[in-house]
Every structure is written in C-alpha cells, then in structure tokens.
Amino acid sequence: MIDLSNLNKEQYRAVTHINGPMLVLAGAGSGKTKVLTNRIAYLIENGVSEDNILAITFTNKASKEMREREVKILGKLAYDIQISTFHSFGLKLLKENYGVLGYSKNFNILDSDDSLTVIKKIIKELNLNPKFYNAREIKSKISSAKNELIDIDSFSKMEYDNNILLIYKKYLNKLKVNNSVDFDDLLVLSIKLFREHKDILEYYQDKYKYVLIDEYQDTNEAQYMLSKLLCQKHRNIFVVGDNDQSIYAFRGANYKNILNFEKDYKDCEVILLEENYRSTKNILDAANSVIKHNKDRKDKNLKSNNGIGEKVKYVKVETDKDECSYVSSKINELHNSGVKYEDIAILYRTNAQSRILEEEMLKNGIPYRIVGSFYFYNRKEIKDLLCYLRLINNPLDDVSLLRVINTPKRGIGDKTIDALSEKANNENISLFDAISEGKELKFKNLILEMQELAQNLTLTQIVDMVLDKSGMKEEFGDKTLDGEIRLENLEEFKSITKNYEEEYGVLNLEDFLAEISLVSDVEEYKDEDNRVSLMTIHSVKGLEFDNVFVTGMEEEIFPHYNSINEGTRNAIEEERRLCYVAITRAKKNLWLLNAKKRMLFGNVQHNLPSRFMDEIDPDYLEVINNRETLFNKVTKIVNKEEMYKKSGDDYSVGDHVKHTEFGEGIIVKIDGIIAVIAFAHPYGIKKIMKTHKNLSKV
C-alpha cells in the first residue's frame, strides 16, 4: 500500500482523483512531480492496469526522473508504464502504424541538421540565391507551420513568396520519396493517423485510458491536439502545469492551452497547489507581487512552508564590472561561511551576458559551469572569429586555416583540403602558401585583404570587418533564435576588444590575441559537481538553488529589447513570467542586480532599472546602493573621462614617450589617432591611441 501521509490536502485530492478530467495548477516548488508519480501508483493500486496509463513529459530528463521516482514506489512494475515525451510517443505510434501512412518499416528520422541540409540542397536545385532564401529561416517557417497544424494549402494562402512555397512542397516530397520524416512529423503524422483512421484512434484510446501530462502550459498546437484526440473517448486526462511559468512562446508553446482547459472539459475538477516547499516567504511574496501584474493568468497565491527568511537584496551598482565584482565577492563570502559552490546560481536573460561573469569567476578562482550552453570562448562562433583574427595576425597558422577555410560554406570540400595538405607536406610549406587556385584562392585573397585593412583599424573595427567580410554576420542574421543568439555572442566579443582598448590603449592584434589565450585556454575544473552554476533564465526552469543572483535587471536587458519593441502585452507578459521563474528558483537568498552603465555588444548602454523592480513591493526588498559607496573604490570604474585625455599632446615621429605599462619608447609612425611606438624588449612595437591616459611625452 502506498504511503500518502506526506501529502497536503490539495495534493491528496489530486493523487486520489481517478476518473474524469482534472487540471492541477501547480505553483513553483509545490510538489507537482510528487503528485504525478503518486497518482500513477494510486491508479494501479486501485485496479487500473499499468498498460492503460500514459504519462507524458517534455524532456527526456524529466521522463527519466519520473521513471526513477516511480520505481522507488512500485518497483519493477514501473518499467511497464509508458512514460515518454510527446515526440517519443509519436515515434512509437509511427513505428506501429508506418504502413497505414505509406512508409516502409525502416523509415528514417531527420534531425534538425539533416532537415537543414535537405532545404539547402533544394535551394541549390532551384537555382535560388541563398542570400535571399536563407535555409535556416525557411526551415523555421516550415517547422512553425507543422507545429501549428497549418497544412500546405493553408500555408500557400499565407505565404506571399511562391519560391518558399515551392521549397516547402519539394521538401515534403523529398521526405516521402526518401522514406523519411522530420522531428515535427512525429506529431503531425500521429495526428493525421488519428484523424483519418478512426479504428486506430479508438484502439489507442482504449489502450491509454488514463493520460497524465506534465508542464501542460508548454504545449503547442500539435501537442494539444494529439492529447485531445487521445482522451476524447474516456476523458481521463490529468494535466499539471503553471500558467505563470509558461516561458517558451518562441518554441511555439501556447500558454492559453492551460487557460482554456476548463472550456475544453467543462466538467473538469481544478485543484490549486499553492503551498511552496522551496522558498522563503519574502522570496515568494516578491514573486507574487510581480506576476500579479499579468492579466492572462489563473489567479493563485503561493504560500511558503519555510518561514519569512531574509529580504530580497536589490543591489544597484554603477557598471556591469561592479555587478560582477559584487557577485564574486558575495560568492567568496558565502563559500567562506561554509556554503558549497553547487548551492549558488547566477542567472541572466541572454547568453551574451555570461562572458564578463565567466572572466570574473576565472579571475577570482571560483569554479563554475555553464548550464545549457557552452563556455563563452568555447562557443563555435567565437572560436571561428578567433581563428579569423589569428589568420590575419599570422596567415601561416594551419590550425586556424583548416577551421575557417570553409566557414561559412564556400564550396571548399575535403578533397580540396586533402590535396592542399599533401602539397604543403611535400613542399614543406604552410597550407596558406600552398594555395594557388580555385575557391581556396579567393579565401586566401580575402585573408590578405583583411590583413591589409587591419593595419589602419582599431581592434573593435577589425572585428567588425571580419564579421562583415567573412560572411559570419550574414550567416547568423537569419532571424532564427539560434542565429540571434550566435550573433549576440559575436557582438558581445566587441565588448572584450573595447575593454582592452580602454584598459591599455593598445591596438596590437598580436598582443590582444596573446591576452585572450590566457583566458580562453584556462584548464577546466575537474570537480564537476561543486561549482557555481551560470545559466540563462530559460535554462533554469525546473531547478532550484539556496542562493541565486539575477543580473541585468534593466530595461532592454530584462525585459528584453525585442519584447519591448514588439509592443504587445503578450510579449511583456512572457518576460514577466520569465522574471517569476527566475525569482522562484531561490530557496534561501536572492539578489537582484542592475547597473547604471553596461558594456554590451561593444557599446556602453545607459539603461533604466527593470520595470519588474518597480513591481516588487518594497516591503520585501533590502536596497543596497553601491553607486556611491566604498565598493567603487575597490572596483576601478573605467569611463571615458578617466580613460582619455581631453586633448592629446601634439605627438610627432621621433618623439620620446612614456607608457605606464611598457616604459619609455620612440614614436616611429603617426596614423590619425594612432601612434606606432617602439618600446624596449620584451614589448617591441605597439599601436596606442595618442589620447590614452597611460601615454605621455618624456
């Protein structure tokens, strides 16, 4: 007999519900997974066969966790229960009914990259300009249409460009001819199967008489329809979710599915899980005071089971550097008092914000991990950019050349590269020197051109030039989420060059690359578990930490400028739900930080505090204003007034000068604002801005 004594009253009602539709609105930290797993066990204990139960989650990780919890309750019997994601359930349906849908047994499933390759091939076959017909953008359109259940006829009425329609039709045909389906088809074809074959639908309706769906607020149109068809006979649908935590609209999720559940199932029972077992009262009250500003929601008010706790710290600082320094100093303080690194998380709205935080962690010897993304310098686009810069500095760098000679795609294949490698080996020369013809010669000339142009550019200007001339900027400007993130990371790299220019006044590419290598090549920490977690707020969904820092609480950062520019209530409400998720990750201590000035994408931004800060009741906040305190004396603030002299000396070739870092030197060339200076060994030739504060005449 299963033990239900550890359930509260509302949890018990949900677990012991057997027949009929039920909506469980489960607030953050209210024990929804416990409810789901115990209800499955309760159904079985009350005579329902394990074969008649289907539990659907959104991620493989969640499915695995649910299975493990079920095993602890039911033992080996738990392995007979169908616990899966929507897509893995769809695959099961297709494998069992492939013939009915016109496929043979060995059909292939194309992943995202495979689908992209097919679309690129079609664009080429149609002799269309890939600059105007971006494969990623078209793939995104096709995927959205499928997930919204828009058929080809409806799509043709919506799409003004006949070529895109033609690409879509050819794409569908190629999949069919090649006995293949894409990831979206796993749901679309399952729905087609149910709609066109009533006998098959009825078979699965009778097989899965009891359906449980987790994170129902994240369902898209296809997932919603699949579950609706499956449950329309016995109507034993049990959904768990939280409309306040719907944050995946960019993936097609429709939060209104959970809001409309009572319309779809008018006799449904609704249970609110409002008792939070995660956070303190002050943290929850702060979260509640923010989310209540949303109009499209089911009203609920989380109550803490963990006492009042500390007030939420609202930290105001001058710059993003101060923000990072404050966070690292507090982490050290926490760690010195016995807190484990693994109990600390730093959250941010966009991936690009992680770069300066990573550097601060490295500088202070704080072990960290990037969750749901790559370390900044390990991201593909950043590695590619660095290779271009290294080639400009040293064209004989074979490693860098091999990485970017066909990035973005230039039609330089493996055979060409193999032939180049053989020639270089035979003649004992570099790959660059071995290039003499073909498409690879265009690449060589591109590097030589950029090398020549770089002579008269600042570091930041060099980066801009590389992004434009290499084709990287164009490649990622495809309006997809992935492209947007990668482009943001590349733009953020300019913050590194700007900071370097301002710190030293040095414009030498060689010196900059040497400095970067010290940061980017730091050995990864071996202790995998005991690290501070750095992640976007989207990545932290479902996780919790004792101590949470949320950085960048500023307008145009959070809420994001794209949502502000969209100008719709839905867009801002999605951002507010994201803020709610961020706040409710904290169990004991929460810091919300904003900066008056922030270097982002190579530009200094002066942002107002986030509107979400104004929405938090001041009773729950402890304001820490670090703009006028001793803290700024510890953390040096760099601004233009301090960094550059108001009027530069009238430097001339041959002048003796002094630099605070490199000592005395002689100006050998003047090029606009740049002075080329010969310093003594080991520094050598440096390019330095004439107006930089570190430079003066002897």
Strand partners, 592: 314, 550
* CB neighbourhood size of 524 (10 A): 9
Which backbone phi and psi does 426 adopt, to 5 degrees?
-65, -40
Bridge partners of 315, per DSSP, are 593, 624
Residue 592 pLDDT exceeds 70: yes
Which has more pLDDT, 493 or 589? 589
CA 275 to chain centre: 30
CB 201 within 8 A of CB 232: no
* Residue 678: predicted pLDDT: 83
Dihedral, CA of residue 378, residue 381, residue 386 and residue 390, to nearest 10:
130
pLDDT at 634 over 70: no
* Closest listed residue to residue 291, CA positions, set 278, 300, 282: 300
The DSSP bridge partners found for residue 319 are 597
- The residue annotated as part of the active site, out of 32, 278, 355, 369, is 32
Q: Is the pLDDT of residue 478 over 80?
A: no
Return all residues near 22 (Cβ < 8 A) that are at least 6 apart. 14, 237, 238, 239, 268, 269, 270, 271
- The neighbour count for residue 178, using CB atoms within 10 Å, is 12
pLDDT > 60? residue 644? no
pLDDT at 519 over 70: no
CA distance 470 to 451: 12
Q: Check residue 636 and give its pLDDT.
A: 38
Mean pLDDT over residues 80-108, rounded? 88
Which pLDDT does position 550 carry in this prediction?
98
Q: Has this prediction a pTM greater than 0.85? A: no
Residue 344, beta-bridge partner list: 547
Separation of alpha carbons 229 and 225, rounded Å: 6
pLDDT digits (tens, 9 = 90+) for 536-563: 998 888 889 999 999 999 999 999 988 8
Long-range contacts of 504-507 (CB under 8 A, 24+ apart): 504/661, 504/688, 504/692, 504/694, 505/659, 505/688, 505/689, 505/692, 505/693, 505/694, 505/695, 506/686, 506/687, 506/688, 507/458, 507/459, 507/674, 507/686, 507/687, 507/688, 507/689
Q: Among all chains, which residue has been given the structure tokens 């959205």?
A: 144
- E strands present in 393-544: 532-536
Catalytic residue among 10, 182, 214, 491: 214
Residue reference for tokens 């008649």: 52
Per-residue pLDDT band at 515 (split at 50, 70, 90):
low
Q: Which of 112, 100, 47, 44 is nearest to 73 (CA)?
A: 44
Summary mean pLDDT of the chain:
86
The token pair at 234 is 């016995």
The active-site residue out of 13, 16, 33, 264 is 33
The yes-or-no verdict on residue 526 having pLDDT over 90 is no
* Range 569-588 average pLDDT: 94
**Residue 577 to residues 34, 283, 414, 566: CA-CA distances in angstroms?**
23, 15, 48, 17
| Residue 375 scores a pLDDT above 90 | no
Is residue 559 exposed (0-12), middle (13-18) or buried (19+ Cβ within 10 Å)? buried
More confident residue, 510 or 452: 452
Calculate the alpha carbon distances from 442 to 406, 449, 469 in Å. Answer: 11, 10, 12
Task: Please report the pLDDT score of residue 663 as a whole number.
Answer: 84
pLDDT reported for residue 128: 93
**Which residue among 57, 85, 217, 245 is the active-site one?**
245
Place of tokens 């998380």: 345
pLDDT of residue 479: 63
Residue corresponding to tokens 């070529």: 163
* β-strands 275-276, 303-304 pairing: parallel
- The answer to whether 215 is a known catalytic residue is yes
Cα 50 to Cα 44: distance, rounded to the nearest angstrom: 6
> Of residues 585, 588, 596, 598, which has the active-site annotation?
585
Task: Give every CB contact of residue 586 below 8 A, 6+ residues apart in sequence.
Answer: 279, 283, 544, 545, 546, 547, 548
Residue 236 has pLDDT above 90, yes or no: yes
Helices 221-231 and 86-97 cross at an angle (nearest 10°) of 60
pLDDT at 111 over 80: no
Q: Write down the pLDDT at residue 374.
A: 59
Contact at 8 Å (CB) between 284 and 303? Answer: yes
Q: What stretch of H or E contains 23?
A: strand 22-26
Residue 304: what are its φ and ψ, rounded to 5°? -85, 145
The predicted-structure confidence for 647-684, as pLDDT tens digits, reads as follows 455 788 888 888 877 888 888 888 777 788 888 877 77
The residue annotated as part of the active site, out of 215, 384, 478, 574, is 215
**Residue 245 annotated as catalytic:** yes
